[in-house]
């Protein structure tokens, strides 16, 4: 059993034993704080002084670095211009690499490059120069990266394994000419920890079979077969390829033509194996983002649980079952890090915190969009069966600076906690442990608001038995007719009367991890002024509060 699994078991075995959970968090917090203080000092020097400004833009000064309106303070965002899908997530020699779809010349989508950042702790990021540029074969669309430990590709030097990136070429000349085969797959390699990349002279390594949507390769090593496997978007479903050397690929099977949700094109698939929490049994998980077709409209990520023999994937659930990784409107195209030792931690995931319905219109100026928090993916049994759950990465504990514990036993109505906090509620984490009382069906949650009359609510409606995110009054919304048109909801997967809720608020976003990550919601909003006030509320009935802890979180950029 991995240390990650053991940590989760320890934390969830008695989810409402406050003493046990506090010990778990405190031990991790003190250990990571001392380590991350050193890392923070080094990375801030690099971020503020060593990174190069985008062409045509001046570098921000130390006093205003990452201080623009709506700029997240503990989520990754590019220094300038447009960003979308995370790409090439790989861990190598102590560094987490985050590549991403990037257009350095505008804050709207354009010719795609691979932007690049690295971190030693998943929290503080160092911006690096662009890794991959478009060329005669096309734009550089989404893909993945691996460590070729056995040098199967032959790209390695001096007995050191190379990093190999696998990506989609998007040929706009062919697209404009009316051809259907304008997307192909290419590779590149690096022998200096991802700082310099060389494209393979034999690209493309997978030609297009005649599909308009043929993209987003996610590659991993299959230890049992001793070969590489790739899951690839093929329009309305996924294809599974295999290779011995990352250069020559053959199609093994296809999955999904009649499985899951099909409201839009499948994108950014992923395929990996996980142990079921608390056991040695393993299952395979396939992720598939679709746009549109999400549970609350627009972009979202579905997943499948089943078995994989190295060639074919078999879904355990009925074909028409749609399981969603996140019910919010703003978690899309997420994938997991490769080459993290399986016995050290859970599968790590990060997504693009936006939605294609309005991504290019959101009211930011110097940059556009951010990533979600890094998350641990855990397979565990729930009241509704085996589910893929998400929890924030443990490293985020090191950002806690100031703690306030509300002295509440029961709540019926609302209580304003603004004066009790010594930090801005627009940059905080909240832990709530709540129990329902008797037969009452309350509506309870957290409300952020400001003096402009703008507010954001996120909570649970016991009568409807669903979580909700209400950004209908949260500020700027005129950039899109459906951004704030309705309240977004998510079903409760857990069936108990007790709730363990973890919230993160960061300037212009909220992330809810409910019932130890069984239900997750990620949403953005854009108040005209930061939300500087906060209240807890319980309407239409009262709730018992076992814990209400508020943490001011440090900026990762200061």
The string of pLDDT tens digits covering residues 307-331 is 999 999 999 999 999 999 999 999 9
Q: Which CATH number fits domain 400-553: 3.40.50.740, 2.60.120.560, 3.40.50.620, 1.10.3720.10?
A: 2.60.120.560
Q: How far apart are CA 344 and CA 408, in angstroms?
A: 38
CA diameter of the chain? 69
- H-state helical runs in 85-214: 172-176
Asked if 497 contacts 478 with a C-beta cutoff of 8 angstroms, the reply is no
Q: What's residue 357's pLDDT?
A: 97
Tell me, yes or no, if 85 is annotated catalytic. Answer: yes
The string of pLDDT tens digits covering residues 126-166 is 999 999 999 999 999 999 999 999 999 999 998 999 999 99
DSSP 60: P
Burial 373-404 (b: 16+ CB within 10 A, else e): bbbbbbbbeeeeebbbbbbbbbbbbbbbeeeb
The string of pLDDT tens digits covering residues 474-518 is 999 999 999 999 999 999 999 999 999 999 999 999 999 999 999
31-51+82-385: what fold? Tachylectin-2; Chain A (2.115.10)
| Set 17, 64, 85, 135: catalytic member | 85
CATH 2.60.120.560 domain residues, the chain: 400-553
Confidence bin at 9 (pLDDT 50/70/90): low
Q: How far apart are CA 30 and CA 280, in angstroms?
A: 30
The string of pLDDT tens digits covering residues 250-296 is 999 999 999 999 999 999 999 999 999 999 999 999 999 999 999 99
Global pTM reads: 0.91
E strands present in 474-532 = 488-491, 498-506, 509-514, 519-524
Paired strand residues for 227: 222
User: What is the total residue count of the chain?
Assistant: 558
């Amino acid at each position: 059993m991995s240390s990650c699994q053991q940590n989760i078991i320890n934390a969830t075995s008695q989810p409402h034993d406050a003493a046990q959970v506090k010990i778990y968090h405190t031990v991790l917090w003190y250990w990571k704080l001392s380590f991350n203080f050193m890392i923070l000092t080094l990375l801030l020097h690099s971020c503020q002084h060593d990174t190069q400004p985008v062409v045509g833009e001046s570098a921000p000064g130390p006093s205003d670095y990452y201080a623009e309106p709506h700029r997240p303070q503990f989520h990754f965002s590019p220094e300038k211009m447009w960003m979308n899908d995370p790409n090439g997530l790989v861990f190598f020699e102590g560094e987490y690499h985050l590549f991403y779809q990037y257009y350095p010349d505008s804050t709207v989508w354009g010719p795609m490059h691979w932007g690049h950042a690295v971190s030693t702790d998943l929290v503080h990021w160092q911006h690096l120069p662009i890794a991959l540029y478009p060329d005669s074969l096309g734009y550089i669309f989404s893909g993945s990266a691996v460590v070729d430990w056995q040098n199967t590709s032959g790209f390695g030097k001096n007995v050191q394994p190379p990093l190999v990136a696998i990506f989609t070429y998007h040929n706009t000349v062919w697209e404009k000419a009316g051809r259907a085969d304008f997307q192909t797959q290419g590779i590149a390699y690096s022998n200096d920890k991802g700082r310099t990349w060389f494209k393979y002279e034999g690209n493309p390594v997978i030609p297009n079979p005649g599909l308009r949507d043929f993209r987003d390769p996610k590659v991993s090593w299959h230890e049992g077969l001793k070969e590489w496997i790739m899951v690839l978007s093929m329009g309305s479903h996924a294809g599974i390829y295999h290779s011995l050397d990352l250069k020559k690929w053959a199609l093994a099977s296809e999955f999904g033509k009649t499985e899951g949700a099909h409201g839009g094109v499948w994108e950014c698939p992923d395929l990996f194996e996980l142990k079921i929490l608390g056991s040695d049994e393993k299952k395979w998980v396939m992720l598939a983002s679709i746009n549109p077709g999400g549970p609350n409209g627009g972009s979202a990520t579905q997943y499948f649980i089943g078995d994989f023999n190295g060639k074919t994937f078999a879904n355990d659930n009925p074909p028409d079952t749609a399981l969603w990784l996140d019910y919010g409107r703003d978690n899309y195209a997420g994938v997991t890090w490769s080459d993290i030792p399986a016995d050290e931690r859970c599968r790590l995931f990060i997504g693009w915190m936006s939605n294609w319905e309005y991504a290019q219109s959101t009211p930011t100026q110097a940059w556009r969009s951010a990533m979600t928090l890094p998350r641990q993916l855990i397979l565990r049994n729930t009241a509704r069966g085996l589910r893929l759950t998400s929890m924030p990465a443990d490293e985020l504990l090191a950002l806690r600076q100031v703690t306030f514990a509300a002295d509440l036993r029961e709540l019926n109505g609302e209580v304003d906690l603004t004066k009790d906090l010594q930090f801005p509620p627009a940059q905080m984490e909240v832990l709530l442990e709540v129990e329902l009382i008797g037969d009452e069906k309350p509506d309870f949650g957290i409300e952020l608001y400001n003096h402009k009359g703008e507010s954001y609510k996120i909570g649970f409606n016991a009568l409807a038995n669903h979580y909700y995110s209400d950004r209908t009054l949260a500020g700027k919304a005129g950039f899109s007719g459906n951004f704030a048109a309705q309240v977004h909801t998510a079903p409760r997967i857990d069936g108990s009367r007790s709730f363990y809720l973890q919230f993160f608020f960061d300037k212009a976003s909220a992330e809810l991890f409910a019932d130890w990550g069984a239900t997750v919601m990620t949403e953005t909003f854009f108040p005209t002024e930061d939300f500087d006030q906060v209240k807890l509320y319980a309407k239409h009935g009262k709730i018992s509060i076992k814990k209400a802890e508020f943490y001011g979180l440090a900026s990762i950029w200061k």
